[in-house]
Structure 1
Amino acid sequence: MFRLPEAWVWDFWTVDDGEQYHLFFLYASRALRDPHARHYRASIGHAVSHDLVKWERVVDALVRSDAPAFDDCATWTGSVVRHPDGRWFMFYTGASLNAFGANVQSIGYATSTDLMVWDKAPGPVLSADGEIYEKWAPAPEGNWHDEAFRDPWVFADPDRDGWHMLITARSAVGPSSDPADRVDRGVVGHAWSADLENWELREPLSAPGQGFGQLEVLQPFVVDGRQVLLFNCLAGDASDRLKATGTEGGVWIASAESPLGPYDIAGARRIDDPSLYVGKFITDRESGETKFMAFRNETGGQFIGEITDPYAVTWDGDGLALVRVSRRLTPVNSGSGAVSLAPE
């Protein structure tokens, strides 16, 4: 368990340098008292480990910039990849408040030679354009509470044709003219780069109308030979149709044909209960096994804010079974299509 007594910890991402695992995480002081206020005070912390269990905190990676800047409110979730020239690139979300107090998100990056000291590049390098991806607008025209354009997940093209970025975004157009469908615009945003420095915004890799207002913290991964897309969505950000099924929010997986889709977003399954959020698959360097980690979200209405120890991951039919050191958690189908977890 990775826990800070003085701060809440939530979204995170990892990278393996061949000797250690690096954990980059969002954190904010518990002195704020209100856990919801953490989003506007988030910095990116850093810890290292040899086994994904025992973590040593090291110097922070990034903090917000002085105003005016695209990240002058907070630095949010991202990912890390290594350029062929040896440099590490951290792509991250910058949050800034506009004149209406709305949270506008865009994407920047920082580079490092050692994963310890990071230098921000001028940014942002990507933002919502208003034609493909929805921009924030005040009521009554506005459809969403912020300008959702964040959580960049970057990976090399499978055919070695540059780099791809998956983005938590919303479509600029709805699935229908029905006002009730305004929420249902969550899509897998997409951008491409030849060099990691210059980015081309592209059409989304999924369509709106799949049941989710936003697909947070995306991660394509192959689990025991099956390609999936992992994403996260809380119940409050689901469409009315999905809420009507009684499905709770949490970590979801959708089957996929490749890292770039197509994805079966409408057929996605929840793989845990809402007490866990922002799941991540991680390959154990020594065993080659797939592990799963998440942060502890709300339990009994109280935000916890700490990161779990790793679970082993195996398929159990069409569901995923998570196995931790002390006990096995098995999938339990609620009858609504959602899969929760219960101890044996």
Structure 2
Amino acid sequence: MAFRLDDRWVWDFWFAQEGGRTHLFFLQAPKSLGDPNKRHWHVSIGHAVSEDLMNWVEVEEALRPVASPAWDDYTTWTGTVVRAPQGHWLMFYTGTSRAEEGLVQRIGLASSPDLYRWERSSRNPILQLPDNTLYETLDRSVWYEQACRDPWVFPDPDGRGWHMVFTAREPNGPSVGRGVIGHATSDDMHQWTLQPPLFRSRVFAHLEVPQIFEWQGRWYCLFCTAANLIDSDYASAAMSQPMTGTHYLMADHPLGEWHLMPGDFLVGDPLGKLYAGRVIPARDGSLCFMAFLKNEEQGGFVGELSDPLPMIVHEDGTLYVDASSYGLSAG
């Protein structure tokens, strides 16, 4: 596999690229926990570097929960890294607190001059859900958590500041169909204003780990979800079978209108072998797809990252990834 650790599980990841190097940031937890389901609550953000997306050198971890009571003293979860116009780097990440039993998710910010040393912002958290108007807030009779996580930040293509998308849920409708791509805007990446969802799925309970990118004039939004979190009528009508994995939306502009691509997932299967896929530019300018290995045939958790798989963009803009090397039908 492209990246694995003998003593830790690895799952969701994101990246930054500079000077021919790819910096990989990833969630990690010790295998000594025994139960991989406990990994979410014993997590830190690891860091590795590669020049070819295949050979990785692990370096010092980037971030972990704070020791004293705080909004992120329980978990530091999935995020994104972008370079600020001033030249330094910013990491947006998800946090939860012990006081709230990890049930309420917020988004925070850390900065770095070199991608190695990270310092939390004094303004944290920079994004949270204030009420039940635009997005669903905590109601355990409806859903098991308050979803506001997995931030992905990118510049407005028309030069009008910055956009953040994140995993969230809307406050109305059947629970299994409330998953949305949340949206916020900023002029400086420090102060953020909540906006209405960028996309309402109506058929997914959540759309995790979104990634928005542009390719040859078209815009794409990758997301992942699990087979048991898909509306059964939609799965029966639009897919060969319910799948766990990575799917995508298409649009002519990042502010939409976004369209859910019909049919099976880009990379998915009922078991959920590969999850939380990302598109990563290779050094030759082509696109690669990477995901983390989630479930093995026997149902156990794997916790490693896949090799980079070539991504093909057809003339009509649809995406194709051959994941047959991992026992999946070509998507």
Question: Normalised by the size of structure 1, how large is the TM-score?
Answer: 0.87
User: Could you tell me which residue of structure 1 aligns to residue 170 of structure 2?
Assistant: 171
Aligned residues of 2:96 and 2:105 also touching (Cα < 8 A) = yes
What secondary structure, in the 3-state scheme, does the structure 2 residue paired with 1:236 have?
helix
Tell me, in whole angstroms, the C-alpha distance in 1 between the residues paired with 2:249 and 2:35.
33
- What displacement does 1:149 show? 0.5
Q: Where do 1:282-297 residues align within 5 Å?
A: 282-285=280-283, 287-297=284-294
How many residues get paired? 320
**Aligned: 1:200 with 2:193:** yes
Letter in 2 for 1:200: T
Letter in 2 for 1:46: H
**Aligned: 1:276 with 2:269:** no
**Aligned: 1:265 with 2:267:** no
**Aligned: 1:121 with 2:121:** yes
Q: RMSD over aligned Cα, in angstroms?
A: 2.2
Deviations 1:169-194 (A, max 9, x none): 011222xxxxxx12211111001111
Aligned residues of 1:89 and 1:110 also touching (Cα < 8 A) = yes
Letter in 2 for 1:124: P
Tell me, in whole angstroms, the C-alpha distance in 2 between the residues paired with 1:102 and 1:329.
33
Tell me, in whole angstroms, the C-alpha distance in 1 between the residues paired with 2:292 and 2:265.
15
Letter in 2 for 1:110: A
Letter in 2 for 1:222: E
**Aligned: 1:231 with 2:223:** yes
- What displacement does 1:318 show? 7.1
What secondary structure, in the 3-state scheme, does the structure 1 residue paired with 2:214 have?
strand
- What displacement does 1:271 show? 1.3
Letter in 2 for 1:133: Y
Deviations 1:254-286 (A, max 9, x none): 22222222111373740123200010001113x
User: Could you tell me which residue of structure 1 aligns to residue 45 of structure 2?
Assistant: 44
Any stretches of 5+ residues in structure 1 without a counterpart?
175-180, 331-339
- What displacement does 1:321 show? 3.3
User: Could you tell me which residue of structure 2 aligns to residue 315 of structure 1?
Assistant: 313
Between stretches 116-125 and 251-260, larger displacement belongs to 251-260
What secondary structure, in the 3-state scheme, does the structure 2 residue paired with 1:206 have?
strand
What secondary structure, in the 3-state scheme, does the structure 2 residue paired with 1:80 have?
strand
User: Could you tell me which residue of structure 2 aligns to residue 334 of structure 1?
Assistant: none
Letter in 2 for 1:81: V
Residues 136 and 240 of structure 1, relative CA distance in 2, 3 Å threshold: farther
What secondary structure, in the 3-state scheme, does the structure 2 residue paired with 1:39 have?
helix
Tell me, in whole angstroms, the C-alpha distance in 1 between the residues paired with 2:261 and 2:136.
20
- What displacement does 1:36 show? 0.9
Residues 17 and 266 of structure 1, relative CA distance in 2, 3 Å threshold: closer
- What displacement does 1:222 show? 3.1
Aligned residues of 1:88 and 1:111 also touching (Cα < 8 A) = yes
Residues 111 and 298 of structure 1, relative CA distance in 2, 3 Å threshold: same
Any stretches of 5+ residues in structure 2 without a counterpart?
none
Between stretches 79-88 and 234-243, larger displacement belongs to 234-243
User: Could you tell me which residue of structure 1 aligns to residue 301 of structure 2?
Assistant: 303
Between stretches 12-21 and 263-272, larger displacement belongs to 263-272
Give percent identity, aligned residues only.
42
